[in-house]
Structure 1
């Protein structure tokens, strides 16, 4: 992929960033539901991921969304008990999903450590759930919007630099052990699944993310900087604050969406 295929949208601060992404999500998801019977959205965790979901919930336009027609998935999860505050899904329930009329059958959290015996079994179970919701002949749904956070080391989902999971292409979900960030056991979508999404939206803030973005846009290897491989089939957008944009070349910063 060339850097021209990616857009970098810079916002003055974290608050403006979260509000802008929330507004864009509401507008885009309404458009998607005008074209399709259902939508599939992949959520992320982290501070900005939660902030965006909170802004969506508190927006006056939130009531215009037909929430019951949206499937919610997650890009990765920590293999800890259900309800643990470390889980990305719990953060999403607290910020948004417990407050809007979603269809519980369309909310797809990763298995928790108290629901299934092992990490490997959990990966298989989520792979099966993805396949059950997929079009005929596919291994997973058509994701309309896939949110990603980006770590200071350039990791996305739970695909970390130099770890073998970033190179796996023959699975939809991988068990992750020895994560450099606690907890050590996690589950993650694979890079090919991430790259199959129509739209990949990365939301990140802070000066500690500047190097990762700069390296990704400069063509760093995916193995060394996993975010370099994050791309959507139709659109790839970095939503960032000014601090995170410090190392982005001026010509790559989009004046508008």
Structure 2
């Protein structure tokens, strides 16, 4: 058995953002030592706004965005300028706010030619990963330098939902979903093996609305079978959670309060 995930909690969003910045920069710098690029997968929801708060202000360390390669942990089958697009959200909250002198990352959105065929969209996005991570037959599972995820009120992450058949998929890197219980129904998502395989994995979960699901994920057997709980179990100490105090109210799992 490895060590359990790291669960950090902070008094406010400013303190959370400071520690998230250090976490991301540490992942970036380690990646540069390995291959001089930083391959990161991000999800949508509230994460892009938190990420912008962490990365855009000048602070400790330097984000070398010109060496970043940003992929999407999941995406909705909508145009890139649609309000439900994770790419559109990341562009508005983070990418458009990066000062020119900090450089611009290389970003890999979905191919919108396939909006009406989510299986083909998933296959095409998997091919994007194949090109970025080497030939499919030489890499069993792509290992991102960092995967940044959110936690839904039902314990879902990416577009992997509780009890869904996609949780049992083991071969594909990217999966289609056409019956998402949360709209829009058509999406693509990293598979659970890929979402659990990052060198570092960070979750951001804030607000009192998350306390019930956080208690489930960390304190119950049933919660460990939820998508977020499965990532915790699969990746163990490679996972670090960034929360605020209201989100972990009542959690008995050891919570580290304050900075990393």
TM-score computed with the length of structure 1 as normaliser: 0.87
Task: Quote the residue 1:133 is aligned against.
Answer: 132
Q: Name stretches of at least 5 consecutive residues in structure 1 with no aligned partner.
A: none
The RMSD of aligned alpha carbons is 2.4
CA spacing shift, 1:233–1:39, aligned 2, 3 Å = farther
Deviation at 1:242, TM superposition (A): 0.6
Contact 1:14 1:241 in 2 (8 A): yes
Please identify, of 142-151 and 60-69, the stretch whose mean Cα deviation from structure 2 is larger. 60-69
Equivalent position SS for 2:75: strand
Task: Quote the residue 2:80 is aligned against.
Answer: 82
Are 1:235 and 2:238 matched, yes or no? Answer: yes
Contact 1:7 1:238 in 2 (8 A): yes
Q: What is the rounded CA distance, in whole Å, between the counterparts of 2:133 and 2:245 in structure 1?
A: 38
Alignment of 1:158-169 (within 5 A): 158-169=159-170
Aligned partner of 1:65 among 44, 54, 63: 63
Task: Quote the residue 2:95 is aligned against.
Answer: 97
Q: What is the rounded CA distance, in whole Å, between the counterparts of 2:40 and 2:60 in structure 1?
A: 16
CA spacing shift, 1:62–1:39, aligned 2, 3 Å = same
Q: What is the rounded CA distance, in whole Å, between the counterparts of 2:174 and 2:82 in structure 1?
A: 21
Please identify, of 159-168 and 131-140, the stretch whose mean Cα deviation from structure 2 is larger. 131-140
Contact 2:56 2:97 in 1 (8 A): no
How many corresponding residue pairs? 251
Q: What is the rounded CA distance, in whole Å, between the counterparts of 2:214 and 2:166 in structure 1?
A: 21
Q: What is the rounded CA distance, in whole Å, between the counterparts of 2:58 and 2:85 in structure 1?
A: 28
Deviations 1:149-193 (A, max 9, x none): 000100010011111111111111111122111111111001000
Task: Quote the residue 2:110 is aligned against.
Answer: 110
TM-score computed with the length of structure 2 as normaliser: 0.86
Task: Quote the residue 2:256 is aligned against.
Answer: 254
Alignment of 1:87-236 (within 5 A): 87-100=85-98, 101-103=103-105, 106-112=106-112, 114=113, 116-136=115-135, 137-139=138-140, 141-221=142-222, 224-231=225-232, 232=235, 235-236=238-239
Equivalent position SS for 2:183: coil
Q: Name stretches of at least 5 consecutive residues in structure 2 with no aligned partner.
A: none
